[in-house]
Structure 1
Amino acid sequence: MVVAWVREETTPYGGSLVDQDGLWKKVIGELFEDFLLFFVPELHAQIDFGKSPDFLDKELFQEIADKKKGRRFADRLAKVRLKNGKEQWILIHIEVQSKKETNFPERMFQYFYRIYDRHQEKIVAIAVHTSPSKNAIPDRFTYDYLGTQLHYMYRNYQTEAYSDEELEQSDNIFSKIVLAAKALYQTKDEEHQRYLFKRKLMRELIRNQNYTRTAVQAVFHFIDYLLQLPDAYTKQLSEEIRSMIRKETELMELYNKENASPTIKNVFDLELEKGIEQGIEQGVKKVVLEMLRKGTSTDFIAEVTHLEKDEIEKLREMLQ
């Protein structure tokens, strides 16, 4: 059994709340293999990913409960098959830490012994912190009282420990999730910088032929909701992404509109809108040409169609 804890809090932006724990839960489920490969490659090497993991989140939620009032967290419980044929549980408690808590190591131990006591499984515990702070976060819990001692350590990772350059150069698509998590704080008060970051990352994901469209859509969904933008920037981003996707051969057909992120949904809507506009434009041109053939005056056509007179004259020249 593997336990990965990631702690997260909702973050306000533009008057709305970002459900970060929900986003992490979703993206870890969709990019489960990439998540493990990024943080725990030695564990990843033991798993047979030819067999899809079974997620049993309801069972996890019932068994592990934080009694502290108001605490929000997401959970992932997966049952996988190892390459040696054995069945193994991977338990992920998503609790992305955004601020320092003195009792965090103790809580890590409490989750450990609850799981161990219930299932008697070997457990690898992982803590992932998304705080922008570079201060070291404790990776152990110790207890020493009248000769009774306890020393518990767990895997500890901080997104801030990964440089932007390292994440940009990584081939693992989950590195882009970590990069976006860092950008949440880096662009907190810089709307234009956030827009530039999203545009750059989306362009790179679209152009990278090594990533499946399903994986790309999972990352798009994460960064679109995590890194929210004002409406004007959102519209501009959709226009630019639309222009790029249309240049790539048949890329539009590779995106599933039903599961698309807001930006990609806007791209589909823009395509529909432009298609309707083009259809109307072609229909108007046909009507104008027919009116010109019948000798209708330019002034009358302009009054009826609301076209500029120079446009009508260009159509007249086409007939001649």
Structure 2
Amino acid sequence: MVDQDDGFSVNSASEPDDYDSPWKDAVEHYFSAFMAFYFPDAFLEIDWSKGYTILDQELMAVVRDAELGKRFVDKLIRVLLQSGDEKWIYIHIEIQGTKQAEFAKRMFVYNYRLFDRYDRPIASMAVLADAQPDWKPASYGFEVLGCKHFLEFPVVKLTDYHNQLDKLLVADNIFAVVTAAHILTQRTRKNDEERYKAKSLLMKLLYQRNWDKQKVIDLFYVIDWMMRLPEELEQQLWYEIEAIEESRKMHYVTSVEKIGIAKGRQEGKQEGLQEGLQEGLQEGEAKMLSILLTHRFGALPVAIVDKLARSSEEQLKNWLISAISASSLDAVFNDDMTH
């Protein structure tokens, strides 16, 4: 069983502006917030004190032979209701990334297959994250020889939020921020400078909320993953974030977490290429450590630069930990200080 609003981790995504992983993790670990934001009426009927259970493997077993099409996320969650019914019900969530002719039929098929498996009510709900405002399927069924079989399901369309961006930016729900990031990612797809400004705005707004540190870091991951930037603009953004944290005395995103975000992005770009991934991670860690050391202690000697380039991933991690609190460059590479 998953507690409400736990933190979530970054997984890989294969292409720029591929939202699958941040959406999947956000829905799974902030499911109550997801329901409160997108489906508030259903949210009020669920007994959140009893928790909820994610059933991804069960969903895969039921629908693995179906034509899935392009989508961001499908989730099956088991919950209890406020009505006092002690039996579980099942919520099937689809987050669809592109317009698809067979989408409503897929919702219909998944619903009756899940009902057949569990013999319990299945609530199917959809979030449409495509860019086609007029596409909003909400039902599917047929009538033949006096027999009627229909499914109507609640639908949320993210394009409907485009004129509410200002409200999203000040709302307290994590999915208001995720939705704003989604909208701004779409708007800035071919303009790096505008995306930089939008991403900087979102990052800065996180520090104005009274959210706990883990939630802020989680949103850093989501925003960073959605809104890819060229490396030089990413580095410029991180300098801005460091300045904000220093001025506010809010050291949320540490250098270690910053490296983790960068490494997660690198993993996503190289999924399935194990040897290349390992080399890429080590090179990326060496580069980020070099940036951190230069930022703290000034220009690095050639011998240190060479040392970083030749070192293992484990050594780089140890030096990174030391670099955060070391008083001098020599102290970073003191063997007695490695972990």
Separation (CA, whole Å) in 2 of partners of 1:51 and 1:271: 45
Larger radius of gyration: 1
1:10-29 correspondence to structure 2 within 5 Å: 16-29=15-28
Stretch moving more, 187-196 or 161-170:
161-170
CA contact (8 A) 1:31 1:215 kept: no
> What is the CA–CA distance in structure 1 between the aligned matches of 2:258 and 2:50, rounded to whole Å?
26
Cα distance change on mapping 1:255 and 1:57 into 2, 3 Å: farther
Q: Name the amino acid aligned to 2:175.
A: F
Paired position in structure 1 for 2:298: 277
- Cα separation, partners in 2 of 1:92 and 1:262, compared to 1, 3 Å: farther
Structure number with the higher strand fraction is 1
Q: CA deviation at 1:207?
A: 2.0
Match of 1:45 in 2: 44
Which residue is 1:32 aligned to? Answer: 31
Structure 1's 22 and 94: CA in aligned 2 closer, same or farther, altered over 3 A? farther
User: Contact conserved, 1:21 with 1:94, CA < 8 A, in 2?
Assistant: no
Indicate the SS of the match to 1:261: helix
Write the letter of the residue equivalent to 2:192.
E
Q: Are residues 1:261 and 2:282 paired?
A: no
Q: For structure 2, list consecutive stretches of 5 or more residues without a partner in the other structure.
A: 1-11, 266-284, 302-339
8 Å CA contact retained: 1:31, 1:218: no
More off after superposition, 107-116 vs 55-64: 55-64
Aligned to 2:123: 124
Q: Distance in 2 between matches of 1:197 and 1:126?
A: 30
Shift of 1:129: 0.6
**Hey, what does 2:186 align to over in structure 1?**
185
- Is residue 216 from structure 1 mapped to residue 237 from structure 2 by the alignment? no
Taking structure 1 as the reference length, the TM-score comes to 0.71
1:306 aligned residue: none
Secondary structure of the 1:208 match is: coil
Tell me the residue number matched to 1:242: 242
Give the partner amino acid of 1:139.
Answer: A
Distance 1:94 1:212 in 2: 29
Q: Distance in 2 between matches of 1:89 and 1:259?
A: 41
Q: 1:257 to 1:272 in 2, by over 3 A?
A: farther
TM-aligned CA distance change 1:195 to 1:157, over 3 Å: same
The 1:60/1:11 distance shift into structure 2, 3 A limit, reads: closer
Contact 2:92-2:123 at 8 Å conserved across structures: no
Q: CA deviation at 1:68?
A: 2.9
Q: Which amino acid is 1:200 matched to?
A: L
Offset at residue 175 of structure 1 (A):
0.7
Question: Could you say if the C-alpha distance between residues 191 and 258 of structure 1 is closer, same or farther in structure 2, counting changes exceeding 3 Å?
Answer: closer
Q: CA deviation at 1:107?
A: 1.2
1:91: how far off? 3.7
Give the letter for the 1:152 counterpart. Answer: L
Higher relative contact order (CA 8 A, sep 6+): 1
1:110-259 equivalences in 2 (<5 Å): 110-162=109-161, 163-209=164-210, 211-252=211-252, 257=257
Distance 1:203 1:232 in 2: 19
1:163-186 CA-to-partner distances (Å, cap 9, x unmatched) read 212322322121111111122221
Moved more, 32-41 or 147-156: 147-156
1:101-133 deviations in whole A, cap 9, x for unaligned? 222211111111011111122222111111122
Answer yes or no: is the 8 Å Cα contact 1:184–1:226 preserved in 2: yes
What is the correspondence of 1:271-310 to structure 2 with a 5 Å cutoff? 273-277=294-298
Write out per-residue CA displacement over residues 68-97 of structure 1, whole angstroms, 9 at most, x where no aligned residue: 387666443333454548353544444423
Paired with 2:264 and 2:69, the residues of 1 have a C-alpha distance of 34
1-structure distance, mates of 2:188, 2:250: 33
Deviation (angstroms), 1:160: 0.6
Give the match's secondary structure for 2:298.
Answer: helix
TM-superposed deviation, 1:244: 0.5
Residue 239 of structure 1, CA deviation: 0.7
Distance 1:173 1:208 in 2: 11
Letter in 1 for 2:171: S
Query: Quick one: which amino acid aligns to residue 79 of structure 1?
Result: R
Cα separation, 1, equivalents of 2:97 and 2:69: 15
252-261 or 34-43, larger mean C-alpha shift: 252-261
In the TM superposition, 1:62-77 aligns within 5 A as 62-68=61-67, 74-77=73-76
